[in-house]
Every structure is written in C-alpha cells, then in structure tokens.
Structure 1
C-alpha cells in the first residue's frame, strides 16, 4: 500500500523564507524565454505542458497551440483516452510521471516545462447529501499525493534539468503554509505537504522557475478580472481567494515571456468580475512579486 504518512520534516520549518529577487540576483534583467527566441530570429521555444488532459492543462495546451508565433506546444497525458479527449495530435505524448523512462520522449528537446499534474481524490460511494455530514475521499493505490505530487513532479524536474531546460512553471495550490489545512485531510494524504516539498525541490534545483500557487479554481471565462498576487497564504484571509482556470493558464504562458516572473513564487487569485480592471500588463503583475519561495 502507498505510504500516506505526512513528511513532517518538510511541513514548514525547513522551507526557505521569501527573499527579494533583486538582491538575490544582481545584474541586468533579461527578456523571457519566448521573447529571446524571437529577438534572436530563432524558432519559437518548445513548451511541454504535463497534465494536459486535466481541466486547466487542456486550456494551457490549447493556448500553446493557438500561439504558434510564440510557442511550439506539446502535451503529456496519462492515458490514450486523455490523448483522444484533447484531439489525439502527434505532439501529445502518453506517459506515467511516476516512471522517468516513460516521460523521457515527451521532455526530450523541450525548452520549457509547465507542470500541471496533480493527484485526484475520488469520493467513496454511498454518500447521501440529504443525510448531512461530509463525503469521504480516497486515492487509488499508487496514485496518492506522495507518488504523484512529490515523486512524479520530482521526476519531471530531474528529467527537465538533465536536458538543460530553460524554465519550469509549476502550478500548485494555496494553503501550503498550514499543515492542518483541510485539503491535507482529504484521504488523509497530506496533498499540500507533498506539493510544497516538490516546490522546494524545484526552487533548490538551480533552474529558472515560476511557482504559481493558485486559489480556488473556477470554470469561468478568463481575461475579464483583475488578478491578485500574494505570498504565504495571505490571500486566504480575504474574500478574493478564487481564480478562473483560464486565468491560471494565461499566467503560465505569460511567465515564459517575462524575466520578472523568473525565480519567483506567488499566490494567485482575482477580484470578482466587475471589480477593478482586467489584468493585461503581466510584466507589472510579476514585478509585484519579490519572494523566491
């Protein structure tokens, strides 16, 4: 059976405190990955999104394929069924992130990696909402957060580093500063603890990275709200702690375009539609972030 005990040494005390990017990385700013390729007259960078069969991953993959002047898009999914669901193109690879060898073909030759893989809990049968109480959840054997959100993400980071990838964008979740967060109790699997461990591994890898800790994900149109960035789960104490999946997907791509997004980690949410001004200046958005972790 999979190990489900919490990796307590990683549950807070050993995480690095945020620090100012400017002081940590002196020197001139550089343009983002895609901007550099275009300015040099080269071909667009090849970008792989893993978890491309998921609800947010599908949006990222679609955006990559629509912007052929900026990116050469690839996807990685877990099953042939997921590949068919997003069109079945030859640039969608099937692999298991828990097995480094199976994801090597997808990662070979890429310039950037967007990680959107995540363990998915299932509801135990028999729950009757009319009787009150809360549903119970479980994870399939071998698909616990430890295997998917830690080992699977570590495998992706290691594979990308081995080929000299130029940037990794990792999408996580807010709530990781609190080991007692309710999400950690789902299936008694400590999902945020394992996600946080993978984030720390990426931050320590030496690779350029952007860690996006998204708020509550909503299936709504993107591009119509003002986005908010924060750190250390401060946004969770406010009323604006949700975000459209489409906006998260857009921020993933924009993070590849601006140096201001590199070597940074931040929480991401949005104001309600109709409040504030929809975000279009992503350089300024990323410039508001000064935390490396």
Structure 2
C-alpha cells in the first residue's frame, strides 16, 4: 500500500543534475511530502530556487550537515564525486581525455566518507527509509570508471552501500546504468542485479526516470531492504512504465 501520510524527505546532492529533478518532483507533490534539500554551495542553492528548505553543508564534514537532517523521515542520497577532464584535450588528434579529481573531492572522501556521514546523520535522526543512488558496474573492480582519475569510484560507492545495508535502517539501493539527459516517462524500465544488464544493449536510462524511481521507492514496502540495477528500453520499444509496484515486485536481491 502507498503511504498517504505527509513525510519529510531530504534530498542530498539536490543541486546535481539528477538531484535537481528529484527535488523538483517531490516539491510537486506537496500533499505527500515536505521536501528539504542539501547542497554544497550558495550557487547550487540558488540554482534550485534558493528556498529556505535548502541547506548548505559539506557532506565530508559531519557537523556541517546535521541541521539539514533534523526532523526528516526519509533520505534520498544523490551525492557523488565528479571527475574533471584535464585541460588541453584535442579530440581531433585522437587518443582519450585524461581525468582527475579535485583535491579533497576524491571518491573516497565524497562517496565513502560523505555517504557514511549522511547515513549516520539519518540514523541519528531516526529516519525510516534511505534511498541511495549508486551506479552499475560495482561487481567489476577493473571497471573503466574505477580507472578515471585513479579514483576507484565504484569501489568506494560499493563500500558505502554495504555500510548502509549494515546500518539496520530500511534501505533501497538503486544502481542505474549510463545516465541520459532525456525526457522521462516515455520508456519501459528494466530492473536487474549483479551488473547483468551491462551485458545487454539496454544499459542506459534517462536521469528523469531514475528520479521518478527514487520518489516512487518512498511509497512501497516491496522495495525496502532491496538493491537493484536500473535501465530502460529505447523509446518506442515496450510499454512506458507506469506501475511501479509491479516493477519493484521483480526485484529479488538485497545487495
């Protein structure tokens, strides 16, 4: 059964490309949710409207984020380290661009320590559900994403996921495939486990669809204590997903 009572939900990484969509979707459902956001800078706060319900804090500093967690019922974690391209890459000359992480913004600090701080803060606030958005590819230590900037980003994301599982708080771990800046609600969504979808042609998904799954996950007990990979069929293939209870009922893995 969907829960009809008003719940207070905090979206962290609310200034990010997917986080913005989740924050907006929750704000569009005022009869269901009281929405709060956490961003790192004043600039990010202004980018999503600058409302009083958006807090500024650094997830690497546990104390700085505590105020945002007061009185929340659920947490959606959308923070992630972001590799930067080294300047000087010329695509006309072939080869591959090189990437780096800014000092202090490595995956170990953002995806591990930062997410651990959030999970601890949420547990301390007594939340009843944490939705964590990770990434497909975590079963493969040699995945190309781990090589970017020598960051081992999927390794640290996986460590944070395990910490969430061990926390005792009801959780949902969503591991989307390649994120696309396309319209949501037009595709049939597919769930999987253990990176099996990476062996198929359908391993991408619009950010807007990931955002909708985050919001829908708050409503169904079927998706608590579950972890799943998420992708979509191409637009025009299959039937656009509207029944999220049915989608979530296909999930079998807890990690």
Q: What's the counterpart of residue 235 of structure 2?
A: 273
Match of 1:7 in 2: none
> Residue 58 of structure 2 aligns with which residue?
96
**Structure 1 residue matching 2:134: 3-state secondary structure:** strand
1:67 aligns with 2:38: no
Alpha-carbon distance between aligned partners in 1 of 2:170 and 2:185, rounded to the nearest angstrom? 26
Pairwise CA distance, 1:201:
0.5
Query: What is the CA-CA distance between 1:141 and the residue it aligns to?
Result: 0.5
Is 2:210 the counterpart of 1:244?
Answer: no
- 2:87 maps to which residue? 125
Bigger Rg over Cα: 1
Aligned residue number for residue 9 of structure 1: none
Partner of 2:108: 146
What SS does the aligned partner of 1:72 have? Answer: strand
Q: TM-score, normalised by structure 1?
A: 0.86
2:127 to 165, 169, 172: 165
What is aligned with 2:156? Answer: 194
In the alignment, the residues of structure 1 paired with residue 193 and residue 32 of structure 2 have an alpha-carbon distance, to the nearest angstrom, of 29
Question: The residue matched to 1:180 in structure 2 has which SS?
Answer: coil
Alignment correspondent of 2:186 = 224
CA distance in 2, matches of 1:65, 1:105: 20
Question: Which residue of structure 2 lines up, in the alignment, with residue 110 of structure 1?
Answer: 72
Higher relative contact order (CA 8 A, sep 6+): 1
In the alignment, the residues of structure 1 paired with residue 165 and residue 247 of structure 2 have an alpha-carbon distance, to the nearest angstrom, of 20
CA RMSD of aligned residues (A): 0.7
Partner of 2:170: 208
Partners of 1:162 and 1:73 in 2: CA distance: 19
Give unpaired runs (5+ residues) of structure 2.
none
Deviation at 1:163, TM superposition (A): 1.4
**Structure 1: 5+ residue runs without aligned partners?**
1-30
Q: Which residue of 2 aligns with 1:283?
A: 245
**Separation in 2, partners of 1:200, 1:206:** 11
**How many corresponding residue pairs?**
255
Q: How far has the Cα of 1:45 moved from its partner? A: 0.3
Give the Cα separation in 2 of the matches to 1:143 and 1:188: 12
The structure 1 segments of at least 4 consecutive aligned residues displaced by more than 4 Å after TM superposition are none
Which residue does 1:254 correspond to in 2? 216
Distance 1:258 1:60 in 2: 17
> How many angstroms does 1:222 deviate by?
0.5
